[in-house]
Structure 1
């Protein structure tokens, strides 16, 4: 009895504490900083654990030393290279087949969650995606773990934010903190992690969001460092000064990287169509066999390519060999993702970009030694610019180079190249790899900017159901007697079956030119917009486009596209006012204003 009472008291006490904590977090954004520190620490620990599990899988499967990365080996067993990815593919194929059989929806990634769902992420889906990423990377598929890192970090953040009942803007921010901590922990680069969150997850640079995101990023990086080091840390040799003559050559490299990035993203849909004819559980098996076959030629195609990148940074390589590795790695990445393996192209794009820069420098050295840039500077530029082309985030990639080299001159050059690449890709293609894959699924978002409120603000939510209806056979005089001037913007005209046939605005109805003939003219003669209506599911942006095209001040709302039953009406002025109000709410936090 006493134990039961104590349990009730403890529960009520914890509930009151949670309520006070929620109120505190909602009262001042400053209190998000301690929350971000806790989140960053937890994410850093999870990132380290995932990296260790993947490395142990590589050691056990491929028989490599524990301190050597899989892609850095000069040789792997052909049997292991073929069997391991195919077996991992079988596991993933069964999981995908089961998901479709049980009609479970696709997992939502952090960009989609922040753009469309106000930061809501399923923790179950995040665990599943992260597990699938570890299986993919652990068996040797040509994908990185960074997608799993950001997914689990953002998933933990979303769960914590929903538990604390954070507001929409704060929940989106805390999801960004989780992603920032994940990238910072992965690369040992807190500034890179912070800008990754701002550019790719939150979608804006905000004064109010800077402190929590940076706190989470620092906590994630320090935790990973304390637990054994960042999984994707890169040690770059000291880079010398950069001459002004190198700028032009490396800006050309930036344009080339942009073109290659677009080609890679365009090719992803082509590769997916090549696998589409196979049963869903067979696709990753075949993909694993193809990747394994490429790994027999060079193990550098396996996993993310971290070990290979570190190896290639410090070694002289023939131009032909570089071209072969670039081609095989790109094909391996596209095959892995198209066939159903889970993972990201973040690190793979850095690796391929670095080789692209090395190839570019080697070719220029043969053609015109006077114009040839320093190979290491070219590798860093290629790494960052191809990363921008595929992943996005010019500042993210620039600060990654800064944190790797501690060289401001090189970073300034890389930043210029990243901006050139970003402009090139945006103007020609308009997507990063993440948003391009969402585009292939039917979504139209191009960044993590919050547009979910726009989709939720539908005509059904805005319309008025106080409809003024009049039969089409009524005269103008009869309609005037029923509806006084100023009582409503207009009235709906219906036929004998009660279906919509037009709209009459009251100022038109009370025109002085009609006074002498009001009893002789039917109201249907004044009907406008007979073929222009709104549907309840239309969002406010679509509705305003209909208003603009029709030049209407008011439109009727019908039940469905194949139904003429009127369920309400909406005025253009009200829709526009609601749209402006929602934009104001969505952007109020950009300068740190409290909502």
Structure 2
């Protein structure tokens, strides 16, 4: 009895404490910083654990030394190269087949969660995605672990935020903190992690979000350092200054990187079509992709996994231009095959690796064409790395700060930043998507960033419309309608036929026009009806509704039941729709400047 009473007292005390914590978090943004530090610590520990598990898998499967990365090995056993990705792909194929058979919805990534769902992520789905990413990378598929890092980091953050009942803007911010900490832990670069969250996860830099995201990034980077070191840490030799002539040449490299990035994203559709043929069973597709990747790995092991070891190796060695071009083609093909066939993972580090080779190849060709120009191959590699990263992943500031944290050189970072901006503009106007949003676009989504547009979809015509519809039969005369509907009572009346179907709108000022006084008893009200073809549907969002208003040049429109039914269920004034639209925009962007 005493123990039961003590348990009840402790539970009530815990509930009261939780209520106080929730109140503090909702009242003052400062208290998000300790939560962000906790998220960063957890993300840093998870990143370290995942990287160690993947490295152990590479050692056990491929028989490589513990201190050597898979992609940096000179050669690998051909049977291991063919069998490991095939078996891993078969496991993933069975998992995907089971998911569809059980009708389990596909997992949501952090960008989609923040853009459409207000930061709501399922921890279960995040664990599954991260496990699949670990299997994919661990068996040698040409994908990086960074997608799994950000997924589980954001998933843990979202779970904490939902448990603490954070507001929508704060939940989105904490999800950004989880992703920032994961990237910072992976690269040992806290500023890079912070801007990754600003540009790709939260979608905007704001004063209110600066402190929590930076706190999470620092916490994640320090945690990874304490627990064993950042898995994607790069040690770059000291680089020299960059001349004006080299600036111009590197801008050309940025344009080339933009073109390569667009080509990669466009070609991803072709690779997916190859693996989504109706005659090819779902469960076998990743295994076939694994065989293809294994065959490419026999040519060069640099196509395996993310490519971190290969990038470090190639950065410090002289390479023939033909060999560089071969590795670029094979690595891109391996990445596209891996993702199209069903392996899980990201292209973040793969794009950095291929971009560095592209920069090295460009520098070699420039030296052959104009020895006096003499672009430093290392500067070319850093510029190519960052610009191709911008083309495929996005985030020009993210990539620029990554170079700054790697080199500590302002001169090199300046030219890289210029190149990243050129690439970003090129891709934005020529293509309009990063790889993440392009894959969402192929699934039917229309988002192009993580900016919060979920509220826009939720603000539907059905939520805004008024249902007190004034209806008049199409056979009624103007005089009869005047007697039934006084001028000051409403804005318009809906004209319907005998089947109660919509026949148009009549504005009351037009109904009471003095020009109709002498013929009001003879003219049917349907003669004044307007906007017969311009109607709203209840499922339309406010943005679509505003487009209909603009096209019809109307101040008020009727809402019909569906596209196939002309039954009127309400009406919506443009002024009301515009006011609600502006209110929601103000609410969604209210955190940009913080409390004022």
**TM band (smaller chain):** over 0.9
Question: Deviation at 1:371?
Answer: 1.9
- The answer to whether the 8 A contact 1:150-1:178 is kept is yes
Note the alpha carbon deviations across 1:438-463, whole angstroms, 9 max, x for none: 00000011000111100000000000
Quick check: 1:249–1:372 contact (8 Å CA) kept in 2?
no
String of CA shifts for 1:426-446, please: whole Å, max 9, x gaps.
010010000000000000110
Residue correspondence of structure 1 range 60-209 to structure 2 within 5 A: 60-209=60-209
What is the TM-score with the length of structure 2 in the denominator?
0.99
What is the alpha-carbon distance in structure 2 between the residues aligned to residue 222 and residue 184 of structure 1?
9
Query: C-alpha displacement at 1:3, in angstroms?
Result: 2.1
Bigger CA drift: 565-574 or 513-522? Answer: 513-522
1:399 corresponds in structure 2 to 401
Q: How many positions carry a matched residue from both structures?
A: 594
Structure 1, residues 518-572: CA drift from partner, whole Å, max 9, x if none? 1111111111111211100000000010011001111111111100111111011
TM-score w.r.t. the length of structure 1 is: 0.99
What SS does the corresponding residue of 1:149 show, helix, strand or coil?
Answer: helix
Distance in 1 of aligned mates of 2:374 and 2:395: 27
Residue 309 of structure 1 corresponds to 311
Deviation at 1:29, TM superposition (A): 0.6
Name the stretch that deviates more: 518-527 or 393-402.
518-527
Shift of 1:4: 2.1
Map 1:239-278; keep pairs closer than 5 Å. 239-277=239-277, 278=280
| 1:590 counterpart SS class | coil
Contact 1:89–1:284, Cα closer than 8 Å, also in 2? yes
Give the whole-Å Cα distance in 2 for the aligned partners of 1:593 and 1:115.
22
Q: Which moved more, 1:16-25 or 1:364-373?
A: 364-373
Of residues 450, 468, 482, the one that matches 1:480 is: 482
| Alpha-carbon RMSD | 0.7
Q: Give 2:471's aligned residue.
A: 469
Deviations 1:444-498 (A, max 9, x none): 1100011110000000000001110111111111111111112111011111111
Q: Deviations over 1:68-92 (max 9, x none)?
A: 1000001010000000000000000
State the partner residue of 1:384.
386
Whether contact under 8 Å (1:470, 1:491) holds in the other structure is yes
Q: 1:555 aligns to what SS in structure 2?
A: strand
Q: Does 1:230 align with 2:230?
A: yes
User: Which secondary structure does the structure 2 equivalent of 1:589 belong to?
Assistant: coil
What is the correspondence of 1:415-454 to structure 2 with a 5 Å cutoff? 415-454=417-456
CA distance in 2, matches of 1:428, 1:530: 39
1:359 match: 361
Write the distance in 2 (CA, Å) between the matches of 1:2 and 1:93: 54
User: Is the Cα contact below 8 Å between 1:118 and 1:168 reproduced in 2?
Assistant: yes
**Higher mean displacement: 189-198 or 278-287:** 278-287
Q: For residues 191 and 231 of structure 1, what CA distance do their matches in structure 2 show?
A: 17
**How far apart, CA to CA, are the structure 2 residues paired with 1:466 and 1:73?**
74
Task: Tell me the residue number matched to 2:2.
Answer: 2
Misfit runs of 4+, over 4 Å: none
User: 1:357–1:375: 8 Å Cα contact kept in structure 2?
Assistant: yes
Displacement of 1:423:
0.6
Partner of 2:413: 411
Q: CA deviation at 1:517?
A: 1.3
Question: 2 CA distance for matches of 1:561 and 1:104?
Answer: 30
1:494 and 1:154 mapped to 2: Cα distance? 52
Tell me, in whole angstroms, the C-alpha distance in 1 between the residues paired with 2:490 and 2:217.
55
Gapped regions of structure 1 (runs ≥ 5): none
Specify the alignment match of 1:540 in structure 2.
542
Matches within 5 A, 1:35-46: 35-46=35-46
